[in-house]
Structure 1
Amino acid sequence: MYVADSRNAPATAAARDPGPGRRAAVAPTVLALGTVSLVTDVSSEMVTAVLPLYLVAGLGLSPLGFGLLDGVYNGFSALVRLVGGHVADRGGRHKTVAGLGYGLSALCKPLLLVAGSLPLIGAVLAADRTGKGLRTAPRDALISLASPEESRGRAFGVHRAMDTAGALIGPLVAFLILRQAADGYDAVFTVSFCVAAAGVLVLLLFVPSRPRQAAAPAAGAPRASLRAAVGLLRVPGVRRLALCALLLGLATVSDAFVYLLLQRRLGVTDHWFALLPIGTAAAFLLLAVPLGRLADRVGRGRVFLGGHIALLVVYGALLSGWRSPALPFLVLALHGGFYAATDGVLMAAAAGRIPSELRSSGLALIQTGQALARFGCSIAFGAAWTAWGDRWAIGAATALLALCTAVAFALRPAHHDDPTPGGATPPPSATVPEGTPV
């Protein structure tokens, strides 16, 4: 993959401008990063699949205690994303920072074997999410820099599909280990570490430090700094997109709660619980590339909001008293469709308004707002479940998501996802307002 990415300049030019009637091929850098994410997600989802049951049933945590830990697991990375994005932009060290993040997350897996209390588990999960925070924005920056603007949604869709293939395999591996191993949870955590280490190795060997397609910095381009990244919020399109992501994140209940609610509705046994994420992952895998290509054609903002409408239907189905055997298939299919329509599509939309010199920092800025919002939602949902029960909690989440979706529709950036002619990233002067501090 690395050799394919370092061919001669004419081949690179052809990849950047496929010509009329030809569909741009996905860059080898995207495929290499997709492989890294696939392997890493096998490791991560092995743990994610058993973690809710391990904490609630094994350690006896209340829904509020689990909500706190789940909030740490999904939201702590927000505290380091801006720093990771800034360091990656300084000198174009995207691969180095991403490698540090993947490595830190891998080292946290065996620590779960010895963490048996709430504070210790919280510390390990915080360190694991620190690694995720360090790697996510530099990885997405590498994808966007390696991909033409007009096919960026497709590139992110391919990456997310490969990433989700790992999410599909991980719970299945965890399920098999739990059925065969005497000390099932310990075995899951041990195998997870070995797989994560393999993902770091793939990154070091096959991902180039800087994509060939990335343009050289333009004259007068803003220097990478945290102040310059925050200054991107002065751009109307970036500001509105960040606000939409934050608002909708406030009403996005974590995956673990969705699976716990399904288990309660249908009486799913402990051994089969680990298979529930596979339904979400399968739908994500099937829809990521088609919805990414659709977003390139009809507008990324429309597809992004459509994904949240699918999530609203998920909440409504869980809130209803419907107990049909079709319920899990509907919920998991729409849940996967929600991720396929939002995860990579949001990054593809944001990349078109952020200059390459601030790409990692700018993407981290939007990811940070979304992650902090989901952190708050996880804690609030767990508290509501503990105080009033699961039906009141999901009812409140449904009403909040409907309100936030309506507000986000009104605030959506005007033409924020229209590709620049020729697929080029807009020059910094067109993206960062004059006077932005650097």
Structure 2
Amino acid sequence: MSNEQKKIFGISWNVFLLGLVSFLNDMSSEMIAPIVPTYLTDVLGIGKAISGSIMGLIESLSSLFKVLFGYISDVFRKRKVFVALGYLLSTISKGALAFTRSWWDFLTLRVLDRVGKGIRTAPRDALIAESSEKGKSGRSFGFHRMMDTLGAVAGPLVAIGLLALLKNYPIRVAYQYVFLLSAIPGIVGILLVVFLVKDKGEEVKKKIKGISALKSRNLRMFLGIVALGALGRYSYAFTLWKAKELGYSVVQGLGFYAIFNAIYAFSAYPIGYYSDKVSKKSIITLGFGVAALASLLFAYSKNLPMLLAAFIFYGVYIAIEDTIPRAYMADLAKDFEKGTVIGAYHTIFGIFVFPASIIVGYLWQEYSLKIGFLYAAIINTLAMILMVSFVRD
């Protein structure tokens, strides 16, 4: 049996490799992600509202490129070149953060990282869909999300170890070392894409004539609700700022973040697997409800049990909303437009994620973090109601 026909954990070899690449890349990203909020406020000296805006802009920008490069990869039936290029840009930008001296340097490099993500995401998701058996897209996307998030579990733990080793260094110097070392797993991931991952685009029959799934009223309604839900999805940085507000140290915050990512990782695959058996719409709707619950717990957390519960439910919510909508869109898309349709989802989501963090940052600065989390709870509750009322299976 060739590698292309081989299956591991019930998924194709190509999906397995892409999961491993995402593990390495997310390990790289999450080595630095938990220290970024403190780096912004304590090292670069940036205020709360601007920090929230920067985090939102960073997370939003990548999505602006996703539909474009998804479309381009559909036209040329080539996915791998965009996946490799995207990972390369992100890896370079993360290592170069060691040399930042101002918020402008920082923002420029983080934008480059997000551009890299924007280039690779839709082509990669299309490649996952093309490498999956019919009716098993949820399983494939769930496995990919699990591996991606296991990297996010490993990353903070590596960062904790590095910061412990560098505890006698000034905080800026310690962070510089973490930024530089974060590039190593990213480089290994790029090599796997270049030498082992196989393109599938040319194997899929391109149907030039066909009605795009994007013309479906049901799909348009779903994308509208995605936009609304994104307005209630604040940056992970706010959860770490909440932990800091309750008196926990940066290292303890990294521990909370690792717990969140462990829940996220180990929920993603079973949720994806189960979504192939039942309605994906129902799982997505449940995700909005869990998001509202997590936001309420963050808003009212005053002790360790409540804060832990908030991080756990936040992890389940992100596992659902970062896995099932992609599988749902992949199932609805025709063969000739998978990159475009999945890219449209990512783009719409990303455009509306940016205002979410600005709004929560503003509410934090003018009122309190509690008000920001309550705002998010209201938005997600509304999205859940609209999913039940207007989106068909």
Aligned residue number for residue 395 of structure 1: 374
Aligned residue number for residue 3 of structure 2: 4
Residue from 263, 287, 301 that aligns with 2:267: 287
Distance 1:47 1:199 in 2: 17
Distance 2:204 2:95 in 1: 41
Residue from 287, 310, 321 that aligns with 2:290: 310
Distance 2:19 2:275 in 1: 20
Q: Are the counterparts in 2 of residues 88 and 96 from structure 1 also a CA contact under 8 Å?
A: no
Aligned residue number for residue 33 of structure 2: 48
- The CA deviation string for residues 210-234 of structure 1, in whole angstroms up to 9 with x for no partner, is 279x53224x445xxxxx9xx6432
Aligned residue number for residue 177 of structure 1: 162
Normalising to structure 2: TM-score of the pair? 0.94
Q: Which runs of 5+ in 2 are unaligned?
A: none
Q: Does 1:145 align with 2:125?
A: no
- The CA deviation string for residues 169-228 of structure 1, in whole angstroms up to 9 with x for no partner, is 00111111111123210111011112211111111111102279x53224x445xxxxx9
Aligned residue number for residue 264 of structure 1: 245
Normalising to structure 1: TM-score of the pair? 0.84
Q: Are the counterparts in 2 of residues 62 and 386 from structure 1 also a CA contact under 8 Å?
A: no
Aligned residue number for residue 215 of structure 2: 234
Deviation of the 1:353 alpha carbon: 1.1
The higher radius of gyration belongs to 1
Q: Does 1:296 align with 2:276?
A: yes
Distance 1:116 1:411 in 2: 49
Counterpart secondary structure, 2:288? helix
- The CA deviation string for residues 295-349 of structure 1, in whole angstroms up to 9 with x for no partner, is 11121111111112111111111222x4332123211211111122221111111
Task: Report percent identity of matched pairs.
Answer: 25
> What aligned pairs does 1:318-337 form with structure 2 within 5 A after superposition?
318-320=298-300, 322-337=301-316
Q: Are the counterparts in 2 of residues 38 and 162 from structure 1 also a CA contact under 8 Å?
A: yes
Amino acid at match of 1:184: A
Amino acid at match of 1:354: A
Aligned residue number for residue 253 of structure 2: 273
Q: Are the counterparts in 2 of residues 261 and 390 from structure 1 also a CA contact under 8 Å?
A: yes
- For this pair of structures, how many residues does the alignment match? 388
- The CA deviation string for residues 75-96 of structure 1, in whole angstroms up to 9 with x for no partner, is 0112211221122112211111
Residue from 305, 309, 317 that aligns with 1:338: 317
Amino acid at match of 2:238: F
Q: Are the counterparts in 2 of residues 32 and 207 from structure 1 also a CA contact under 8 Å?
A: yes
Amino acid at match of 2:279: G
Amino acid at match of 1:263: K
Deviation of the 1:395 alpha carbon: 2.1
Q: Are the counterparts in 1 of residues 230 and 352 from structure 2 also a CA contact under 8 Å?
A: yes
Change (3 A) 1:292 1:98: same
Amino acid at match of 2:221: R
Deviation of the 1:396 alpha carbon: 2.1
Q: Does 1:216 align with 2:205?
A: yes
> What aligned pairs does 1:16-415 form with structure 2 within 5 A after superposition?
25-181=10-166, 182=169, 183-210=173-200, 215-218=204-207, 220-221=208-209, 232-265=213-246, 267-320=247-300, 322-412=301-391, 414-415=392-393
Deviation of the 1:24 alpha carbon: 9.1
Q: Are the counterparts in 2 of residues 175 and 272 from structure 1 also a CA contact under 8 Å?
A: no
Deviation of the 1:133 alpha carbon: 0.6
Q: Are the counterparts in 2 of residues 71 and 378 from structure 1 also a CA contact under 8 Å?
A: yes
Distance 1:87 1:48 in 2: 30
Distance 1:246 1:70 in 2: 18
Moved over 3 A (4+): none
- The CA deviation string for residues 87-107 of structure 1, in whole angstroms up to 9 with x for no partner, is 211221111111110011011
RMSD: 2.0
Q: Are the counterparts in 1 of residues 85 and 120 from structure 2 also a CA contact under 8 Å?
A: yes
Counterpart secondary structure, 2:45? coil
Counterpart secondary structure, 1:149? coil
Distance 1:380 1:99 in 2: 34
Q: Which runs of 5+ in 1 are unaligned?
A: 16-22, 223-227, 416-438
Distance 1:100 1:271 in 2: 33
Q: Are the counterparts in 1 of residues 291 and 377 from structure 2 also a CA contact under 8 Å?
A: no
Distance 2:9 2:90 in 1: 33
In terms of mean alpha carbon deviation, does 114-123 or 358-367 score higher? 114-123
